[in-house]
């Protein structure tokens, strides 16, 4: 059954509070055009958005972004802001791959420079950055070192020479170190499930390293501020998170805690057991989860930092120049499975509250002036990165002031799936995808498993151009540039 929808505008829809689910404490707001909305109606996206509106302490709206699709408890592309005293934290509302996110690197190279060496470059990255389920990286850590990664984040990597000091750290969300992380709140099982040996690997699924070319610039002035100087410029986009073992186990551990404790905490009953939550946020269990989540987030930022090191090394080997001569600088790194404590206006009267914002498959999109933004970008706003699929485009945007009014300072995180992985495998043979949608367009792909080519086929995803357009039209973020892939490393 599709929930009843009220049209607010051409790109905003609402499931009203009350009638459809009596437990709803706020309306559910859906940001989509007609085409994207029809896709959402084919799975549980809208139902899950309504369920999230039943969580205690939720403010203003349960939000589904233009890329939203069915997830665990929350829709992927879901946002919810919770009161810090009466609200809850839902591990499922952050997700299993904590701080799955994307990092964009610029280069001084053009497509003309890279094309003759593209296959060699893709092969070299594939060799230096292992991809696939259970793959281990070139680093082998002790458990003591792993604890330092969890507590210190990117600071640990920089202290070991994996990066360019402050120049890298300054362009990472939270500066690559989430304060309050506590490795002691991460179980030994989570640490054993690959975290020690998987730094510097992409993993599987939709994670990737893409060699991209800028093919459209919407705002030349803002693009130059980000180091995006011309169409034809080569960029590198890295998409991965806290890897399959560590982050997944942290979520599993604390979802189990929430399920076991909900009745003890006053009989909290929710419309979906996948929304298992820890109320209120002041409880020890909720604080333990947040400390573990922050530690897993630090691991993910460190993972992308180590991958950045090896990508730079791949360019050095292939082009015979130091990475700094090739301009391999970080544009920005954003998390899109995370919770943040922030101050937001929570009603029409302008009241400001400190809230815990759950972003699941959603990217922070703060406007100019916010202290969380790197000093270099503080007068223009935070970069927002929206990857598409391996055969379509990705976008760079800048956060807008109106994002605070519509989505708690949030924008989409990607294109969003339109086919499940199993359906994509059934319908899209890997050889057909590789030869038709990819190689015919000059896109070179290396993948650890052929099935991934089917799972991640362009046809399995929504139209990222529409997602980025709706994000801009609804005031979440302004489009700056559009990039297309020419080389892809997949799990």
Residue 164 tokens read as 């360019």
Residue 342 CB contacts under 8 Å (≥ 6 apart), including other chains: 81, 354, 355, 357, 408, 409
Q: How many CA atoms lie within 13 A of 300 on its CB side?
A: 39
Are 67 and 407 contacting, i.e. CB atoms less than 8 angstroms apart? no
DSSP letter string over 379-421? TT--EEEE---TTS-EEEEEE-THHHHHHSSEEE-S--BSS-H
Using CA atoms, how far residue 70 sits from 49, 418, 420, in Å, is 9, 10, 10
Using CA atoms, how far residue 237 sits from 93, 257, 334, in Å, is 25, 36, 11
Cis ω on the peptide bond leading into residue 280 (within 30° of 0)? yes
Task: Out of 207, 239, 413, 483, pick the active-site residue.
Answer: 413
413 part of the active site? yes
Helix (H) or strand (E) holding 125, with range, is helix 118-128
Residue 346 tokens read as 């929570």
Are 338 and 297 contacting, i.e. CB atoms less than 8 angstroms apart? yes
Using CA atoms, how far residue 150 sits from 180, 223, 254, in Å, is 11, 34, 17
Q: 224 pairs with which residues across the strands?
A: none
Spatial distance between the Cα atoms of 23 and 120, rounded to a whole number of angstroms: 57
Q: Would you please indicate which residues are annotated as catalytic (active-site) residues?
A: 413
């Amino acid at each position: 059954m599709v929930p009843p929808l009220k049209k607010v505008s051409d790109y905003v829809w609402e499931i009203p509070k009350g009638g459809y689910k009596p437990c709803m404490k706020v309306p559910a707001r859906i940001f989509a055009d007609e085409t994207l909305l029809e896709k959402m109606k084919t799975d549980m996206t809208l139902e899950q958005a309504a369920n999230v509106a039943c969580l205690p302490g939720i403010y203003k709206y349960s939000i589904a972004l233009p890329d939203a699709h069915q997830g665990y408890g929350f829709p992927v592309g879901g946002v919810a802001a919770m009161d810090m005293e009466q609200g809850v934290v839902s591990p499922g509302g952050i997700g299993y791959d904590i701080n799955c996110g994307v990092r964009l690197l610029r280069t001084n190279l053009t497509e003309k420079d890279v094309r003759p060496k593209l296959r060699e470059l893709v092969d070299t990255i594939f060799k230096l950055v292992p991809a696939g389920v259970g793959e281990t990286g070139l680093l082998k850590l002790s458990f003591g070192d792993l604890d330092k990664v969890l507590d210190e984040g990117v600071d640990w990597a920089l202290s070991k020479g994996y990066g360019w000091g402050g120049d890298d750290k300054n362009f990472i969300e939270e500066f690559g170190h989430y304060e309050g992380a506590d490795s002691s709140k991460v179980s030994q099982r989570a640490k054993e499930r690959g975290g020690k040996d998987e730094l510097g690997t992409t993993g599987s699924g939709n994670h990737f390293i893409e060699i991209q070319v800028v093919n459209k610039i919407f705002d030349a002035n803002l693009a130059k501020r980000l180091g995006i100087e011309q169409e034809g410029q080569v960029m590198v986009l890295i998409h991965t998170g806290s890897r399959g073992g560590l982050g997944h186990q942290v979520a599993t551990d604390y979802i189990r805690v929430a399920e076991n404790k909900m009745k003890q905490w006053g009989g909290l009953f929710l419309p979906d057991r996948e929304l298992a939550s820890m109320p209120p946020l002041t409880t020890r269990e909720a604080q333990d989860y947040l400390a573990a989540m922050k530690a897993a987030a630090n691991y993910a930022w460190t993972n992308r930092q180590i991958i950045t090191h090896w990508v730079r090394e791949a360019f050095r080997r292939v082009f015979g120049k130091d990475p700094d001569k090739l301009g391999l600088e970080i544009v920005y790194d954003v998390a899109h499975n995370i919770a943040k404590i922030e101050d937001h206006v929570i009603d029409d009267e302008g009241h400001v509250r400190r809230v815990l914002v759950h972003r699941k498959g959603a990217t922070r999109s703060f406007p100019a002036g916010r202290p969380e933004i790197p000093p270099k970008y503080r007068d223009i706003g935070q970069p927002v990165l929206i990857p598409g699929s391996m055969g379509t485009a990705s976008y760079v945007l800048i956060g807008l002031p109106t994002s605070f009014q519509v989505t708690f300072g949030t924008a989409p995180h990607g294109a969003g799936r339109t086919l499940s992985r199993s359906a994509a495998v059934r319908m899209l043979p890997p050889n057909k995808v590789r030869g038709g949608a990819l190689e015919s367009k000059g896109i070179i792909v290396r993948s650890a498993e052929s099935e991934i080519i089917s799972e991640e086929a362009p046809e399995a995803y929504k139209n990222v151009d529409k997602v980025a357009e709706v994000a801009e039209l609804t005031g979440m973020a302004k489009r700056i540039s559009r990039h297309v892939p020419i080389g892809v490393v997949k799990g």
